[in-house]
């Protein structure tokens, strides 16, 4: 079975040949993958190198905790990718971006207006939570097409605040 | 000694205080808000009582209710921890009026140091150097502050009079930005402390934040436990502390001199119990009084590690009227200690707080490692309190060895389900300037590189990709089994059986 | 320094060694048997290779395979830990022949101390006092031993020549029991060490087991790190160790004298690396050489706590040819340390081992606590290896405070799913004779009271009963819901809803 | 609902009046019971006193870990008890006792024979496991009616070794 794993912008093509052999970008590796699923604890040996990881699914992505770092990995198999490409979603970075509240909190400020052209890194919303004021910034350039929250709103986690296109 | 101690706090510090009480064989009382019924401090306390709704103003800040509970259950002392009621002179007074010992300084000492402006004036009078600012001028209006600012010079800091922990603080680089920053600072000060008074202070460029821990008993003895370096801050929030300070290093003369000045500052307000004098130290080793924290500090464990003194036990003994167990000459520093504050926040996305459930919390262990935490597997992080989920403290002989041990501990530590700032600490501990001891309080805001790519093993993303694919693949196989079970696809069952055998 | 170290061990000690290697920035190689693929030492090592079936004789005792793996992966040093191959002169020799550094003494030193009888003879020649016995007479038959026994006098001990850890040891009170005990001892010795030679030793009544940790480099420097007291044993298995010894206490003269004798014993066999000289000390402070352990000891962490020295790092530095980082005069003892060995065994049922899955393992934390362990939530305890699941080490200033801290730690420690000896340690730490320091190596067998009722809170059984009823009640309600769901019993749903809300 | 909880020989009669009130041997108590079931973590407040416990079911009994001690609690409700008493099982300590291997191991010795009268505490089987020889003793007086294992057998956990009546 062949899969495509994406971390940020980098893609890895991984083919599972057997329980102990894989190809990563066409390079063969000996592997041994063992887990205590209930405890989210995974041990992976790759050509003798040992990696302890914790893996769990968050929405459609996989969260992989490895040596203190957390990687968000998108995994598709060949068939899924073909279907998605055929449907025209060529890039995950185009199209609508919905800014959702990463935690419950109080909206302190929304320093943008509908129609504003904004750049990656611009502050879109200031949200107070856990005794701190937090700046939610734009993940990419775009236009604010819709603002769904207003100052002084108490918002729930994952509530959509505004839309960027 | 006390019959029973009520801990008017929550989280890691409540747990930490309960631990010392238990070792002193003193029963403890925990109090909890709606959000905290299942928290460790409630499960570890000998008694537990409900305080109120989750918002701090309706629970942990309700001094009246807390005193009521203490009286009802027969607690004869209250430990306030840090934050919440710890630096409220009126609460210390109310305890005294109710015949309950407040484990901390007298109301008058808290008041004298609590108003940051007044404190600067008091210690300056006692001969302690202070950073130039608007001290001794009382509470000023925005107009007055705008007028005085050019006298002090830029850059300068706006600080809440009732402040602490960096909340409400603002840096001003240019007078044109100042009006807006004054408004923002007052708003945050009002929200955090219920007091919107602010003052100005010159900003010392390239300064280090170095503080002295002191202990003072009821018999006139005051000693210091040397310094902690807390220059690693992000927006005035301390992130990593160490003892001793790499800046002071072997300069025993400076260490003792600052210690003596700290003792002098404590004496100026007739201080009793544990307290901390914060200094800014410039590159020429001039030091300036910044403020006094009239309570236990978050970072007290690094001092405990190098001195061997349990500061919380000392606090309790002092409050019970015991003389200090040690004289200044008995204090020796052994080795080096570093504390990393582990916050539930995402360093990759502007350090925004991360809420949700910690599905697994796996602590680092082995030699020289201490974890102070109030969280556990199954803990729900709520938006009501701060983002600190644990303090990781390591101790070894030299700074270099301590850093190596901390790196090992950070790698072992697993907090699954929420994001933490562990990668931030990992990046910091690889930074050449940090390793060389070359940093100031602006270091993190200015200098720390992005967190990606600091790992020596460049293969990590590839391995993460492989791990995710294997987990996903197995999930697919599992689903396939369920579907094909109906179709009695025996061959697939066999494959699955092998997979399960090797992976269970 | 080494390029890569292979750890020829498993469990807590393999993890402990990996931790020090990581802090020294040396890559590690783990090896595993079938039973141990998911163990911590494999997950924490940088590389991991399969060794063989679960039985130790087919995996961790296969020196040949281990050296093969080391050569294949480029490891230039092997750390043997304790047990398994740690005291096998032939393995140390084989490493040397293969050009791999064995992190431990030379083969000749291991051989000289490995035969317990020969060792007694050697050190006695060097002027070290030994307990009277059959030393210097070679391997004897049962007939010879039965004949010599009355000369030594009863009670006496039968000990395996190749022994260690109490395995195969038998006490003889009366010559009539002796024949059977000889057989049993030889059988256990053969099973444990592959060598059924045994010898006799007079039993010192009321003796204490006190041992001296030494460090010796390749440049002729030998120092001692003072003593550990290990008198708390059950059937010659150590259960609790402390440093310093409450028996030696302030007798600095005795401490230094025993230390010097230990150094002398080490020099007698040209010793290099870390080692331990075990003594029996009678009530008049006469001390007798018992044996030398030519390896890292299980209980080394208590010495690390009071001296501040990482013994494993020192072992590695010594093996790499570095001179000792400290002289004898640099060794100072700070505070008090105690280690409790946490075994998977049931103290209420004759200490029989407990196998099965540890469904949750929750570590104690906070100041002064160290846990060395190879287990975790989800760990499966197999019958192949020993019952030690963790070592709990605490450090405080005085013995009294250290005991109080240990009691607190034992209460916090949760191992769910298997039985442990934690209640044994709790009972021991309440025992007045233990608290007073009045005990000998027979103490646990003779004196420790039953474990029920040692708790101050007499209500505990009632609370346990209530907790079980509430858990059972809730289970019943849950089942009832499932049944009644079909019957659409709305009122019950409401009740359940409330229950779930308040309990989730 | 009324329950009878038994720990060793001691019985507690516990009646649940509501979510916050119980009677223990007719004495009323205010309680609050809160748990993270998935993590076997239970917090119990009884008249303000706080107890942290870990509870799990092992066969028909409940294992309760409390302040370092582990209690094995048998819980019956009134109906179960009535049925059991009616069926004539008056005491749990009479009748057949089956000695089962507490862990996998090798049978080293069986120092009793069928028909032997033995006393509580007598050694019935010596089993080697985890590098130790372990003595399995009689929990009460009785007669050995059947021996199902023999010396040098490798036995599995919970395998029955002999029967005492």
Predicted local distance difference test score (pLDDT) of residue C259: 97
Predicted local distance difference test score (pLDDT) of residue A68: 84
Q: E strands along B184-221, which residues?
A: 198-202, 208-216
Which of D54, D86, D118 marks a domain boundary? D86
d(CA C370, CA B18): 18
Cis link prior to C155 (omega < 30° from 0)?
A: yes
Which residue would you say has higher pLDDT here, B103 or C191? B103
Q: Which CATH architecture has domain B132-202?
A: 2-Layer Sandwich (3.30)
Is C45 within 8 Å of A50 when comparing Cβ atoms?
yes
Say yes or no: B378 contacts chain D, CB-CB below 8 A.
Answer: yes
Mutate to test the interface with D, among B6, B44, B48 (most CBs of D within 10 A): B48
| Neighboring chain A residues of C46 at a CB cutoff of 8 Å | 49-50
Mean pLDDT across B40-52: 97
Q: How far is D5 from chain C (nearest CA, A)?
A: 6
Mean pLDDT across B303-325: 97
Which of D31, D59, D86 marks a domain boundary? D86
For residue C378, the Cα-to-chain-centroid distance in whole angstroms is 23
d(CA B296, CA B309): 14
Q: What mean pLDDT, rounded, does chain A reach?
A: 88
- Mean pLDDT is lowest, of A4-18, A78-92, B194-208, for A78-92
Residues 174-233 of chain C with CB under 8 A from chain D are: 188, 191-192
Say yes or no: C22 contacts chain B, CB-CB below 8 A.
Answer: yes
CATH code of C208-447, in short, is: 3.30.470.20
CATH assignment of the domain containing D9? 3.30.700.30
Residues B136-185 pLDDT 10s: 777 889 999 999 999 999 999 999 988 766 788 899 999 999 999 999 99
Residues C384-403 pLDDT 10s: 999 999 999 999 999 999 99
Same domain, residue pair A7 and A82: yes
Instruction: Please give the residue of chain C at the shortest CA–CA distance from D154.
Output: C383
Predicted local distance difference test score (pLDDT) of residue C282: 94
Q: Is the pLDDT of residue B332 over 60?
A: yes
The domain ranges of chain B are 5-103, 132-202, 208-447, 461-502
CATH assignment of the domain containing A133? 2.40.50.100
**Most confident stretch, A150-164, B88-102, B126-140:** B88-102
Q: How far is C474 from chain D (nearest CA, A)?
A: 10
Which residue would you say has higher pLDDT here, B425 or C447? B425
Structure tokens at B97: 């009026």
The total number of structural domains in chain A stands at: 2
Which residue would you say has higher pLDDT here, C303 or B196? C303
d(CA B80, CA B102): 8
Q: How far is A66 from chain C (nearest CA, A)?
A: 11
Size of interface B-C (CB pairs under 8 A): 89
Mean pLDDT across A108-130: 89
Residues C114-155 pLDDT 10s: 888 889 999 999 989 998 888 777 788 999 999 999 999 999
B295 flagged as catalytic: yes
Same domain, residue pair D13 and D56: yes
Say yes or no: C414 contacts chain D, CB-CB below 8 A.
Answer: yes
Is D48 within 8 Å of B73 when comparing Cβ atoms?
yes
Q: Is the pLDDT of residue B491 over 50?
A: no
Q: Which domain holds residue A155?
A: 97-164
Say yes or no: B455 contacts chain A, CB-CB below 8 A.
Answer: yes
Predicted local distance difference test score (pLDDT) of residue C490: 42
Predicted local distance difference test score (pLDDT) of residue B139: 83
- Mean pLDDT is lowest, of A47-56, A77-86, C17-26, for A77-86
Is C43 within 8 Å of A52 when comparing Cβ atoms?
yes
Q: What mean pLDDT, rounded, does chain B reach?
A: 91
Mutate to test the interface with A, among C32, C43, C49, C70 (most CBs of A within 10 A): C43
Element (H, E) at A133: strand A132-137
Same domain, residue pair D31 and D78: yes
Same domain, residue pair D67 and D30: yes
d(CA D146, CA B489): 46
Predicted local distance difference test score (pLDDT) of residue B448: 59
Q: Is the pLDDT of residue C281 over 60?
A: yes
Is D38 within 8 Å of B43 when comparing Cβ atoms?
no
How many CA atoms within 13 Å lie on the side-chain side of B20? 23
Which residue would you say has higher pLDDT here, B500 or B149? B149
Q: What mean pLDDT, rounded, does chain C reach?
A: 91
Q: Is the pLDDT of residue C25 over 50?
A: yes
| Neighboring chain B residues of D50 at a CB cutoff of 8 Å | 30, 42-48
Say yes or no: C373 contacts chain B, CB-CB below 8 A.
Answer: yes
- In the numeric block, the tokens 């950070």 are attached to B410
Q: Is the pLDDT of residue A1 over 90?
A: no
Mean pLDDT across D36-58: 92
Relative orientation angle of helices B107-114 and B116-125, to the nearest 10 degrees: 100
Predicted local distance difference test score (pLDDT) of residue C423: 92
d(CA B316, CA B165): 24
Predicted local distance difference test score (pLDDT) of residue C164: 67
Find out whether A147 and A126 touch, Cβ atoms under 8 Å. no
d(CA C477, CA D16): 12
Residues B92-117 pLDDT 10s: 999 999 999 999 999 999 999 988 88
Q: Is the pLDDT of residue A151 over 70?
A: yes
Within a domain: D91: no
Which chains form contacts with chain A, at 3 or more CB pairs under 8 Å?
B, C
Q: Is the pLDDT of residue C449 over 60?
A: no
Which of A86, A111, A130 marks a domain boundary? A86
Residue B197, phi then psi, degrees to nearest 5: -70, 140
DSSP state of C130: B
Predicted local distance difference test score (pLDDT) of residue B476: 84
- Report the share of chain C in percent with pLDDT over 70: 93
Choose the closest CB to B48 out of D35, D39, D48: D48
Predicted local distance difference test score (pLDDT) of residue B450: 59
Same domain, residue pair D74 and D144: no
- In the numeric block, the tokens 């050449």 are attached to B432
Is C23 within 8 Å of B334 when comparing Cβ atoms?
no
| Neighboring chain A residues of C376 at a CB cutoff of 8 Å | 39, 41
- In the numeric block, the tokens 């949200």 are attached to A127
Same domain, residue pair A27 and A81: yes
Same domain, residue pair A6 and A67: yes
DSSP state of B322: P
Say yes or no: C357 contacts chain A, CB-CB below 8 A.
Answer: no
Catalytic center residues of C: 295
Is C48 within 8 Å of A39 when comparing Cβ atoms?
no
User: pTM, whole model, 2 decimals?
Assistant: 0.90
Residues B271-288 pLDDT 10s: 999 999 999 999 999 999
Is B460 within 8 Å of A69 when comparing Cβ atoms?
yes
| Neighboring chain A residues of B385 at a CB cutoff of 8 Å | 130-131
Predicted local distance difference test score (pLDDT) of residue C481: 66
Confidence band of B493 (pLDDT split at 50, 70, 90): very low
Mutate to test the interface with A, among C38, C50, C72, C375 (most CBs of A within 10 A): C38
Which of B418, B421, B374 minimizes the C-alpha distance to B83? B374
Find out whether B331 and B226 touch, Cβ atoms under 8 Å. yes
Is C334 within 8 Å of B367 when comparing Cβ atoms?
no
Predicted local distance difference test score (pLDDT) of residue C49: 98
Residues 26-45 of chain C with CB under 8 A from chain B are: 44
d(CA B399, CA B59): 41
Confidence band of B498 (pLDDT split at 50, 70, 90): very low
Same domain, residue pair A70 and A107: no
Same domain, residue pair A102 and A149: yes
Choose the closest CB to D43 out of B38, B47, B73: B38
Residues D99-133 pLDDT 10s: 988 888 889 899 999 999 998 888 899 988 877 78
Which chains form contacts with chain D, at 3 or more CB pairs under 8 Å?
B, C
Q: Domain B5-103 class?
A: alpha beta
Size of interface C-D (CB pairs under 8 A): 163
| Neighboring chain B residues of A7 at a CB cutoff of 8 Å | 461, 464-465
Same domain, residue pair D6 and D71: yes
d(CA A17, CA A1): 7
DSSP-derived 3-state class of residue B241 = strand
- Mean pLDDT is lowest, of C159-173, C212-226, D21-35, for C159-173
Catalytic residue among B295, B341, B399, B405: B295
Same domain, residue pair D80 and D6: yes
Mean pLDDT across B192-217: 92
Mean pLDDT across B292-309: 97
Is B37 within 8 Å of D52 when comparing Cβ atoms?
no
Predicted local distance difference test score (pLDDT) of residue B33: 97
Instruction: Please give the residue of chain B at the shortest CA–CA distance from D43.
Output: B43
* Domains C132-202 and C208-447 fall in the same CATH topology: no
Instruction: Please give the residue of chain B at the shortest CA–CA distance from D44.
Output: B43
Instruction: Please give the residue of chain A at the shortest CA–CA distance from B388.
Output: A130
Predicted local distance difference test score (pLDDT) of residue C456: 64
Q: Is the pLDDT of residue B494 over 60?
A: no
């Amino acid at each position: 079975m062949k899969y495509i794993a994406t971390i940020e912008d980098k893609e890895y093509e991984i083919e599972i040949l057997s329980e102990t052999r894989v190809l990563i970008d066409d390079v063969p590796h000996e592997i041994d993958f063992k887990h205590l699923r209930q405890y989210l604890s995974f041990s992976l040996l790759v050509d003798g190198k040992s990696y302890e990881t914790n893996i769990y699914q968050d929405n459609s992505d996989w969260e992989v905790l490895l040596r203190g770092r957390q990687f968000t990995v998108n995994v598709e198999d060949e068939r899924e990718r073909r279907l998605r490409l055929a449907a025209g979603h060529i890039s995950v970075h185009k199209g609508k971006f919905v800014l959702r509240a990463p935690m419950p909190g109080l909206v302190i400020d929304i320093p943008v207006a509908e129609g504003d052209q904004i750049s990656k890194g611009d502050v879109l919303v200031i949200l107070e939570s856990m005794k701190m004021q937090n700046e939610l910034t734009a993940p990419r350039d775009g236009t604010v097409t819709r603002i769904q929250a207003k100052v002084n709103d108490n918002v729930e986690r994952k509530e959509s605040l505004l839309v960027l296109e | 000694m006390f019959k029973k101690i009520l801990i008017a706090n929550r989280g890691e510090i409540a747990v930490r205080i309960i631990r010392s009480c238990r070792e002193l064989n003193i029963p403890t009382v925990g109090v909890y808000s709606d959000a905290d019924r299942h928290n460790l401090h409630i499960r570890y306390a000998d008694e537990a009582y409900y305080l109120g709704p989750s918002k701090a103003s309706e629970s942990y800040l309700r001094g009246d209710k807390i005193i009521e509970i203490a009286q009802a259950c027969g607690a004869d002392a209250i430990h306030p921890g840090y934050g919440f009621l710890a630096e409220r002179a009126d609460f210390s007074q109310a305890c005294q009026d109710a015949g309950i010992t407040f484990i901390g300084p007298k109301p008058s000492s808290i008041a004298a140091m609590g108003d940051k402006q007044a404190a600067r004036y008091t210690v300056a009078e006692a001969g302690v150097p202070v950073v130039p600012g608007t001290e001794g001028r009382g509470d000023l209006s925005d107009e007055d502050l705008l007028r005085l600012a050019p006298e002090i010079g830029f850059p300068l800091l706006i600080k809440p009079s009732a402040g602490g922990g960096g909340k409400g603080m603002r840096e001003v680089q240019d007078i044109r930005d100042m009006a807006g920053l004054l408004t923002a600072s007052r708003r945050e000060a009002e929200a955090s402390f219920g007091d919107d008074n602010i003052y100005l202070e010159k900003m010392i460029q390239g300064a280090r934040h170095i503080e002295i821990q002191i202990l003072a008993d009821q018999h006139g003895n005051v000693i210091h436990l040397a310094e902690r370096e807390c220059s690693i801050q992000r927006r005035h929030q301390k992130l990593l502390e160490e003892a001793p300070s790499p800046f002071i290093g072997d300069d025993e003369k400076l260490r003792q001199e600052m210690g003596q000045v700290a003792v002098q500052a404590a004496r100026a307000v007739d201080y009793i119990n544990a307290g901390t004098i914060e200094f800014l130290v410039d590159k020429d080793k001039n030091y300036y009084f910044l403020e006094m924290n009239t309570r236990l500090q978050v970072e007290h464990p690094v001092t405990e590690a190098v001195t061997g003194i349990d500061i919380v036990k000392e606090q309790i003994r002092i409050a019970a009227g015991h003389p200090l167990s040690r004289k200044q000459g008995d204090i020796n520093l052994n080795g080096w200690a570093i504390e990393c504050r582990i916050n539930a926040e995402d360093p990759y996305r502007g350090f925004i707080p991360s809420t949700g459930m910690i599905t697994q919390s796996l602590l680092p262990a082995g030699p020289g490692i201490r974890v102070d935490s109030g969280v556990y597997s199954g803990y729900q992080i709520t938006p009501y309190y701060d983002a600190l989920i644990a303090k990781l403290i390591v101790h070894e002989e030299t700074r270099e060895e301590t850093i190596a041990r901390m790196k090992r501990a950070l790698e072992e530590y697993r907090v699954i389900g929420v994001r933490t700032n562990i990668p931030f600490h990992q990046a910091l501990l690889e930074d050449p300037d940090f390793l060389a001891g070359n940093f100031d309080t602006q270091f993190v805001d200015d200098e720390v590189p992005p967190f990606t790519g600091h790992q020596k093993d460049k293969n990590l993303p590839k391995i993460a990709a492989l791990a995710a694919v294997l987990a996903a693949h197995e999930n697919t196989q599992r689903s396939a089994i369920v579907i094909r079970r109906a179709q009695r696809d025996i061959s697939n069952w066999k494959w699955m059986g092998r997979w399960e055998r090797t992976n269970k």
